Structure 1
Amino acid sequence: MQFIQEMILQYGYIALFFSLALGIVGLPVPDELLMTFIGYLASVGMLNYSLSVAVSLAGAMTGMLCSYALGRKFGKPLLWKHGKWIKLTPERLEKVEAWFQRYGPWTVSFGYFIPGIRHLTCYLSGVIGMGKRKYLLFSAVGAFSWCVLFISIGYFIGAQIDFSHFHASLMHRFFSK
């Protein structure tokens, strides 16, 4: 997380965008902590709240679309060949597919709030061939809600807690470059 914080402080919104996009694809980025930190930075005036939400949404959606495309292109053949290593037999894959056909769109929206599940739902949406428009709609609703929630938590809690020592150190780093 320290590295990501430094990248955000140095490169701002660009680092935020790529951190979220790569985190959604599957790199180990602590997304909720990152979003809360972004909210804090917005509360002390180092970032703009609305722009932070917009950039976060764009980064999350980019990652989600990449995961969807990977699942669509490579998913089933890859799972049929290597699924046994994760105990996903063809029969289980059929059950997951049937369940996902029924509840998948809502899982994409609400699964976004559960680490690990949000990554899996993106790939599975592509694997089962969910329509792109439906996927975009449900993933955008989930991503927007998630971004607003966690940035707002950081924004409102950050404004209430005295981080003056931390804030002074942050301001020195941010503006001394």
Structure 2
Amino acid sequence: MTIEQTVLELLSVYGYIALFLSLVLGIVGLPIPDEVIMTYVGFLVSQGTMKFSAALFTAFAGSVVGMTISYSLGRYFGFPLIRRFGKHIGIKEAHWQKVQTWYEKFGPFVLMIGYFLPGIRHLTAFSAGTSRMRVISFGMYAYTGGFIWALTFISLGRVLGEHWNLLFVYLHRYGVWILPPLLLLFLGIFLVYRRKKKLS
């Protein structure tokens, strides 16, 4: 049984507790398919097994706790922790360098974009910690992004219903066409924010 199958089975049995713990662990760095989990939760909502508001709150809480733990690990242990243990959870130094480059270009807005990039989201929070980003700034970007991320995938699963897993078939086939518009949307919001900040 794969990790994905195990987690989905746990979700069916333990519901909100399994959702919360799986997102915390997945964001901290364990190889758990967070988007698959939340889309499946959306399917359970469509079946009446889970409630939308409770599922959204639980997913948001899981993302907040996971990102906060990752931020704290970066703040107190820094890059040596990634260098020592990163290879065991699939984190390469190239991933780390990519995140650093994005921070130089887009600043804390990367915390919001990173949620939609598997294998990157936990590094964005970790990097924010190593750079000593202010806790208030971190929370504003990371927690807002977490809410949007959870709302997006749970809603998609709810709309797709029994066909919830088709989302990942299409992402696999057409991700090169779907993901860029999403990232451009976030970039547009970021540029408007920066412009308003300069004018104020």
* TM-score, normalization by structure 2: 0.69
Task: Quickly say closer, same or farther: Cα 1:87–1:57, change in 2 above 3 A.
Answer: closer
Residue type at the aligned position of 1:32: E
Q: State the partner residue of 2:111.
A: 108
Deviations 1:50-73 (A, max 9, x none): 110000000011000000000000
- Deviating above 3 A after TM superposition, structure 1's stretches of 4 or more consecutive aligned residues are 76-83
Q: Residues of 1 paired with 2:100 and 2:105: CA distance?
A: 10
Task: Check if 1:129 corresponds to 2:114.
Answer: no
Equivalent pairs counted in the alignment come to 154
After superposition, the C-alpha distances for 1:102-136 in whole angstroms (9 at most, x for unaligned) are 63310001111111121110110001000011101
What residue is the counterpart of 1:60 in the other structure? 63
Give the corresponding residue for 2:53: 50
Higher RCO structure (Cα 8 Å, ≥6 apart)? 1
| Contact persistence 1:61–1:140 (CA under 8 A) | yes
Question: Whose radius of gyration is greater, 1 or 2?
Answer: 1
Q: How many Å apart are 1:78 and its aligned residue?
A: 4.4
Unaligned 5+ runs, structure 1? 163-177
Determine the C-alpha separation between the residues in 2 that align with 1:47 and 1:104: 37
User: Taking structure 1 as reference, are residues 131 and 101 closer, same or farther at Cα in structure 2, changes over 3 Å only?
Assistant: farther
CA deviation vs aligned residue, 1:14-66 (integer Å, no higher than 9, x gap)? 11000000000001110111110000000010000111000000001100000
Q: 1:96 maps to what in 2?
A: 100
Are residues 1:150 and 2:153 paired?
yes
Q: Counterpart in 2 of 1:175?
A: none
**1:100 Cα deviation (Å)?**
2.5
Cα distance in 2 for residues equivalent to 1:82 and 1:35: 27
Change (3 A) 1:105 1:87: closer
TM-score between both structures, scaled by the size of structure 1: 0.78
CA distance in 2, matches of 1:120, 1:27: 12
| Alpha-carbon separation, structure 2, partners of 1:38 and 1:141 | 20
* Pairwise CA RMSD: 2.7
1:19 aligns with 2:22: yes
